[in-house]
Amino acid sequence: MHHGGLHEDAIAGKAYDGRLLRRFLGYLVPYRLTVGWILLLLPLTTLCRLAQPLLLKYAIDHAITPGRLDLLAGPAALFLLLLLLEALLTWGEVYGLQMVGQRVMADLRAALFQHLLRLPVPWFDKSATGGVVTRLTSDVEALGEMFAAGIVSVIGDFLLLAGIVAAMLWMDIKLSLVTFTVLPLLIFVAWLFRRNMRQAFREVRSRLGKMNGHLSEVLGAVSVVQAFGKEREEQSRFTELNYAHREANRPVIVWDASLYAIVEMFSSLAIALIIWYGSGQMLQGLLTFGTLVAFIQYIEKFFGPIRDLSAKYGIMQGAMAALERIFALLDEKEEAASSDPPASQAEYSAFGSPLVEFKHVSFAYRPDEPTLIDVNLTLQKGERLALVGESGGGKTTVIRLLSRMYELDQGQILFDGIDIRQIPRELLRRRMALVSQEPFVFAGTVAFNISLGDPRAAERVRQAAITVGADRFIEQLPQGYDTELAERGGDLSLGERQLLCFARAVAFDPELLILDEATASVDSESERLIQEGVERLLAGRTALVIAHRLSTVRDADRIVVINKGRVVEEGPHEQLLSLNGEYARLYCLQFACGGD
């Protein structure tokens, strides 16, 4: 099975944090007022933290050391007030950041999903579903973790660090310089860790995408896996991917734990330097005991943000890797829009023209493997045209090109006399309805699955169901049209799901009805009911029918036989049989040349 895909390992080059962050900040613009008041809280929180060691120094030097305990009440009360104020300000910061984070994540998911819906079909053919889902789920959640860790509070951490340095230098320059001798080595270690952790997080995200892809693929085809007894093989493959994901996390854990431990070591070393040098200064009368205690307090507060930064650093690196993947997806080119916006549907119609006309159309999914070669065909309004031929001959490709899921390589396709490349995709696709071989049912009510939430189609739900015969089983459901269906219609039979898709096509009242092997998967009874409904549906309506079962197309006005990408025969059923050509051969294969 397929476990990789386009873009899974595409992000492997140098990362530009500044570029990514600047782009990400654009999503914070709608919430700039909230972010603004959070930023205003940061200096106040910093002042509360900076004032605490100074109060402690004052209490020791002016009350405890001289034995004036009566002077302790004021500093103690102020100290408690600062603690309370710091707690309230911190709560406001965290609450505001979490709220903004949730809203930004929701905006990003919406933007990603909207973008995905506009990507061309060939992009999905080359991309692993698991990797795409990972970007909308795990990668966006990584940004939520970044907010939870406090991306804005990092600014507060730097403010606190700068304030501590200023306060220490103000109290004693020499002791400060001795303390800061550990900083150059700490900065070097942080730089070294930064370079290695980014690549580790890239690998984790890539492995997660591959594991999600495997899960999506196997769960979507679990009946096939069970039917062929491949449970052990798929379990083995999943175990392999799961193990690879676990091992990819190992370097992340090692680097994260090491960085935290090293910061703790430097914190203890700095305190040891303060005690060693400060004690000597105290013995010489050059330093008060209150100043020494304040220095120790400041160092603990100094390395506190650094310890936090080391923890946040791992989260930030994960978020940066996630941002790379998210923006790479957002940068994928969407389907090109038509140059001229639609004024009305009449603008894209030409009186007296065939509804559909292919002129010398050629197309290839791969450059060296042509799928359609110089195809010419027309479909008149009100006509029922059938496309038949062996699998892989190019029949479904005709539909894909007609609906502009793919763009043709050569030739021209006209819809109602207008080149389809001049018709906006949305308007073009609204004028046709497709029923494919594999019926898709959404989680929701029966009525929703027929109308898909379209107000105009909703008015025709019941009549559409009656037309195709779906009302017979719908009315037997517990709540009728209001019955909630399971995901993919798991509580309906295959035939019932196909009938719902037929009703959906009728409800949208298209100019062109396209049936792509639409009766191939239903049982004989359901097919009979569908055929009855289709006969009523197709009266006066243009239809393009693709079928392997030749019994379903014998009544077509015209049959076009496609073989190896070329139109080889064309005409009514009886005429084609009399030619004793490709159509007659296919007919004999199905009916042993004995008719029905």
* Banded model confidence at residue 15, pLDDT cuts 50, 70, 90: very low
| pLDDT beyond 70 at 545 | yes
For 19-330, CATH number out of 3.40.50.10710, 1.10.275.10, 1.20.1560.10, 3.40.190.80 equals 1.20.1560.10
CA distance linking residue 375 with residue 562, whole number of Å: 9
Residue type, 453: G
Domain boundaries, the chain: 19-330, 438-509
| pLDDT beyond 80 at 130 | no
Region 283-292: mean pLDDT is 80
**pLDDT of 309 higher than 70:** no
pLDDT above 90 as % of the chain: 7
Average pLDDT, the chain: 80
Instruction: Check residue 374 and give its pLDDT.
Output: 92
The yes or no reply on domain 438-509 and CATH 3.40.50.300 is yes
Buried b (16+ CB within 10 A) or exposed e, 19-38: ebeeebeebbeebeeebeeb
Q: Please work out, in degrees rounded to the nearest 5, the angle formed at the alpha carbon of residue 137 by the alpha carbons of 406 and 232.
A: 85
The per-residue pLDDT for range 87-102, each reduced to its tens digit, is 999 888 888 888 888 8
Calculate mean pLDDT across residues 347-372.
Answer: 82
Residue 539 has pLDDT above 80, yes or no: no
Give the C-alpha separation, 523 to 511, whole Å.
28
Query: Does the model's pTM come out above 0.95?
Result: no
Is the pLDDT at 186 greater than 80, yes or no?
Answer: no
The confidence score (pLDDT) of residue 588 equals 84
Place of tokens 């105009």: 456
Contacts for 480 with CB less than 8 Å, ≥ 6 apart: 446, 474
HSE-up of residue 326 (Cα within 13 Å, Cβ side)? 27
Query: Cα separation of 302 and 158, whole Å?
Result: 10
Tokens of 212: 């999600």
Q: Give alpha helix (H) positions in 221-288.
A: 222-227, 231-283
Question: What pLDDT score was predicted for residue 144?
Answer: 78
- Residues 275, 583: Cα–Cα separation, whole Å: 97
Q: How many residues does the chain have?
A: 596
Mean pLDDT of 32-43: 86
Cα 406 from Cα 123, distance rounded (Å): 10
| Token pair 């080889």 in the structure block, residue | 568
Looking at residue 11, its pLDDT comes to 43
| Phi, psi of 377, deg, nearest 5 | -160, 155
Tell me the per-residue pLDDT of 210-263, one tens digit each, with 9 for 90 and over.
Answer: 887 788 778 767 767 777 677 888 888 889 888 988 888 888 788 777 777 887
pLDDT digits (tens, 9 = 90+) for 433-470: 888 877 788 888 889 988 888 888 888 889 888 888 88
